[in-house]
Amino acid sequence: MHRAFTVAAATTFTALAVAGTAHAASPKYHGSDYGYVNGSTAVACDREADGNGVFTQVDFYGSQATRNFWDGTGADSECGVYGGVTNVYLFRVCEDHVGCTYWYRP
C-alpha cells in the first residue's frame, strides 16, 4: 500500500513538472508577433511586415533594470533567440511604436 502511494505521488509530481515546463515555453502574442522566455532563453519573433520591430522585454529578480531582446531580422522566418538569460522575474512582448502585452511570469 505504501509503495502504491509513493508511485502515485511521483507520477503526479512528474506530471506537474512537465506541465510547468510547457507553460514556461508558451508564447505571448502581440498581434501576429510573439515572444517568450523558456529556461535561460529569451525569444522574440516579428511576424508582421509593418516596419515595427518586436522585442521581448525582461524584468529580472533583484534588479531595477529591464532588458530588451529584439528580433533584428524583421518579418521573416527567423526569430531573435538569446541564451544565458537568467533570474527572469517577468516578461512581456512589445512592438516598437505600438505597445506591449501584459507582464507574464515565465
The predicted-structure confidence for 67-83, as pLDDT tens digits, reads as follows 999 998 888 889 999 99
Q: Binning pLDDT at 50, 70 and 90, where does residue 94 land?
A: very high
Tell me what the pLDDT averaged over the chain comes to. 82
Q: Binning pLDDT at 50, 70 and 90, where does residue 25 land?
A: low
**What is the model's pTM?**
0.75
CA dist 43 and 79 (Å) reads: 7
Cβ neighbour number for residue 18 with a 10 Å cutoff: 10
CA dist 79 and 90 (Å) reads: 20
**Grid cell for residue 81:** 533567440
| C-alpha R_g of the chain | 17
42 and 82 Cβ atoms separated by less than 8 Å: yes
